Structure 1
Amino acid sequence: MAMAEKSKILVIGATGYMGKSIVEESVRTEHPTFALVREISLSDPTKNKLITHFKALGVNILLGDLNDHISLVGAIKQVDVVICLISSSQVSDQTKIIAAIKEAGNIKRFFPSEFGSDVDRTKAVGLAKSAFSLKAQIRRAIEADGIPYTYIVSNCFSGFFLPSLGQFQQGILSSPPRDKVLIYGDGNVKGIINAEEDIAAYTIRAVDDSRTLNKVLYINCPENIVSMNDLVTLWEKKIGKTLEKTYVSEEQLLKNIEDSPAPINMYLSLTHSVFVKGDQTSFTLNPAYEVEVSELYPDVKYTSVEEYLDKFV
């Protein structure tokens, strides 16, 4: 894309968990950046503060709603690429975005709201299974309508998983434990944990890259492929202390998933998928339609799990 005009990017879900990172990276890399914002968000103090921040960066704020087809088509007609980051509870609403993209007829690439494990390669149970199934249905709808796409398999978020060190039985902790730790299964199954800012950087790099068109893009940063035993060892080394370890069998974890209230049951379902069933690392990529970021963008300096843990020491 040297000397070529950079694609105009519309971010839907800009005020959500990954939204800020994607918007800021799009601006940083000088893409004309647009954010679709619901009018109700303007009266939410937290979201309004973020929207004000976006405006200061030069982001074009477009008022619209997934349930307002006219506003959605109008927003989409102003850009080249749509990146969707809506919450898992809204995943099915992406059929409305697909319909609007089809009507607008100008979109070069659609990034649906994935940003997790590969939904076509999962042995998840419970709520995670249901969530992955809905995302897989969106993939099939995109493909059926012939919409150009890139699916981002970002794997685990560092900001979500590492502060708790996977200790979700009591909810999300603010820092890793310093006395006792639960390890699921035998602790040797590897998952992949990436920093949100790095996920954003790789996503925006893919926008105008022909090598990622109609492909699944895996963010499998080599230093971030770790097991729960690896994580605990890294943390013990940093704090200079050995933790008391309790290994939780798969059978017990499945019971915990069944007995836990929301959202803990979802957190445990994801942990089971990643660190017991190996859903992020138990397969090899098919080069016909799957590509990996460390091969495409070896120049990107990402934050390793070990470096990320430093902030909690």
Structure 2
Amino acid sequence: MTDFEPRNLLLFGATGTIGIHILQAVLAARDQFHRVAVFTSPATAAAKKDLLESWKETKRLEVLVGDLQDEDAVQKAYEGIDTVISALGRGAIALQIPLIRLADASPTVTWFFPSEYGTDIKYSPASAHERPHQQKLKVRHYLENQVSNLAHTYVVTGPYADMYIRCAAGRDAGGWDVSTRTATLLGEDGKGRVSLTTMTDVGTLVVAALQHPAVAFNHALRVNSFTTTPAEIHAEFVRQTGGQPWNDVQYVSLPQLRERERVAWETDNPTATVFTLRRIWTEGGTLYENRDNEQIGEPPMQTLAEVIASEIKQSP
């Protein structure tokens, strides 16, 4: 299938946190595709009516409304579609398995991108035991063992740079707060390397994968925007906010982070997943000898300076 060319796309979760960036990148390359459609719930179609209508008018976007768990509706949506891109959120990951089963049975669907964006769930043998990975691992197992006619691609980006720099679970889990000039750097000295991808670049990388099916078919593409350290991130924040030291800068060592992660899970804290993922990243679970950007045409990526500038601009 190396001569396959995706022409008719269907996206699930296209208006969500990461899906919106993928959809925007696809629509920016609209002329490369014959059809671009999104499958969305009645509630989302109503809540985001103006946005979807504008894209229908300017980008020839097709909006298919239905229930994700209605197999008849999904089968109808698949008619004439050759490539499916899922951007379902963490809470809906398992719902991809019936979507994959129906895609495999479809006479037209050839290629499926599951919602894999983020941390590599098969980075090392230890990855199999990480709690946040379990649903994605089930989806991978199904794709690799239960389908007959369907190619897949995992776009593995590592953590989203935009989210990494924010205090997602309060200061205990690391992050920067521009409004208060406070920061918590992960790692004893903040010099541990971490690979990051901006959410905008996730969309860019998915489109690049679509343009290189011979490379992407049945592979995990390990891609990123840049590799940096918490110390380098902080230095860039300081530089762009006038060069003066920030009010309060703390460090969280790996043992401290592991202890906070343990307590979060034992107390059913909803931020437990955040602690686990940040511990994985601080352990080096985003780093590779080589990245696969070159394999898909080396698309232009955003820089650390651009991410910091955007965060400062959005700060109250």
TM superposition score category, shorter chain reference: 0.7 to 0.9
Q: For 1:119 and 1:66, locate their aligned partners in 2 and report how far apart those are by CA, in whole Å.
A: 25
Q: Which runs of 5+ in 2 are unaligned?
A: none
Q: Decide whether the 8 Å contact of 1:109 with 1:207 is kept in 2.
A: no
User: Corresponding residue for 2:251?
Assistant: 247
**Number of residues of Structure 1 aligned to a counterpart in Structure 2:** 296
User: Corresponding residue for 1:280?
Assistant: 286
| 2:158 maps to 1:152 | no
Q: Decide whether the 8 Å contact of 2:155 with 2:220 is kept in 1.
A: yes
Q: Which runs of 5+ in 1 are unaligned?
A: 286-290
Q: For 1:50 and 1:238, locate their aligned partners in 2 and report how far apart those are by CA, in whole Å.
A: 33
Q: For 1:39 and 1:301, locate their aligned partners in 2 and report how far apart those are by CA, in whole Å.
A: 36
- CA 168–120 in structure 1, closer or farther in 2 if over 3 Å, else same: farther
Q: How does 1:113-152 map to 2 (within 5 A)?
A: 113-121=115-123, 123=126, 129-144=130-145, 145-146=147-148, 147-152=150-155
User: Corresponding residue for 2:184?
Assistant: 181
Q: For 1:5 and 1:251, locate their aligned partners in 2 and report how far apart those are by CA, in whole Å.
A: 48
- CA 211–105 in structure 1, closer or farther in 2 if over 3 Å, else same: same
User: How far does residue 168 in structure 1 lie from its aligned partner after superposition?
Assistant: 4.7
User: How far does residue 88 in structure 1 lie from its aligned partner after superposition?
Assistant: 0.6
| 2:261 maps to 1:257 | yes
Letter in 2 for 1:55: K
| 2:200 maps to 1:197 | yes
- CA 219–168 in structure 1, closer or farther in 2 if over 3 Å, else same: farther
Letter in 1 for 2:87: L
User: How far does residue 155 in structure 1 lie from its aligned partner after superposition?
Assistant: 1.3
Q: Decide whether the 8 Å contact of 1:217 with 1:292 is kept in 2.
A: yes
Q: Decide whether the 8 Å contact of 1:86 with 1:113 is kept in 2.
A: yes
User: How far does residue 173 in structure 1 lie from its aligned partner after superposition?
Assistant: 6.8
User: How far does residue 42 in structure 1 lie from its aligned partner after superposition?
Assistant: 3.0
Q: For 1:7 and 1:16, locate their aligned partners in 2 and report how far apart those are by CA, in whole Å.
A: 23
- CA 180–12 in structure 1, closer or farther in 2 if over 3 Å, else same: closer
1:267 to 259, 271, 274: 274
Aligned Cα root-mean-square deviation (Å):
2.7
User: Corresponding residue for 1:304?
Assistant: 303
- CA 198–95 in structure 1, closer or farther in 2 if over 3 Å, else same: same
* Greater mean alpha carbon deviation, residues 170-179 or residues 192-201: 170-179
User: Corresponding residue for 1:288?
Assistant: none
Letter in 2 for 1:280: T
CA displacement, residues 219-271 of structure 1 (integer Å, 9 cap, x when unaligned): 233xx201212211222222202344332222221222233464432222211
Determine what percentage of the aligned residue pairs are the same residue: 19
Letter in 1 for 2:304: V
Letter in 1 for 2:228: V
Q: Decide whether the 8 Å contact of 2:156 with 2:220 is kept in 1.
A: yes
- CA 124–252 in structure 1, closer or farther in 2 if over 3 Å, else same: farther
Letter in 1 for 2:52: I
User: How far does residue 109 in structure 1 lie from its aligned partner after superposition?
Assistant: 1.1
Q: For 2:106 and 2:138, locate their aligned partners in 1 and report how far apart those are by CA, in whole Å.
A: 22
Provide the secondary structure at the position in 2 that maps to 1:149. strand
Q: How does 1:155-174 map to 2 (within 5 A)?
A: 155-164=158-167, 168-169=171-172
TM-score, normalised relative to structure 1: 0.84
Q: Decide whether the 8 Å contact of 2:211 with 2:296 is kept in 1.
A: no
TM-score, normalised relative to structure 2: 0.83
